[in-house]
Amino acid sequence: MLEFTKADWMMSLIFCAVFAVIVLVPCAIIAVMGRKMIIRIGQYPSQTPLIQLNVFLPLVVLEVCTFASLIGFYNVFSGK
């Protein structure tokens, strides 16, 4: 059976906390953007394509940043 030291537990908790922040922050941002988009579509239903196109670029940028941070996170913890 493996013995976990206090340092191992701390490293595991830091790993989980950083990973949770990297995943949960973009999820919260997307939820807020989606809520605002739905409210705007409810107010201006005829402008739905324009509203969706206005949300597209920020979503792409957010996803690229999230993916890059996940890759960086992997490289830091894999020792590369």
pLDDT tens per residue across span 9-54: 898 899 999 999 999 999 999 999 999 999 999 999 999 999 999 9
Distance CA 62, CA 43 (A): 25
Q: What is the pTM of this model?
A: 0.81
Distance CA 64, CA 59 (A): 9
Answer whether 73's CB lies under 8 Å from 19's CB: yes
Asked whether 21 and 53 are in contact (CB, 8 A), the reply is no
CB distance 51 to 41 below 8 Å? yes
Q: What is the pLDDT of residues 46-73, one digit of tens each?
A: 999 999 999 999 999 999 999 999 999 9
| Strand positions, DSSP E, the chain | none
Q: What is the DSSP letter of 3?
A: P
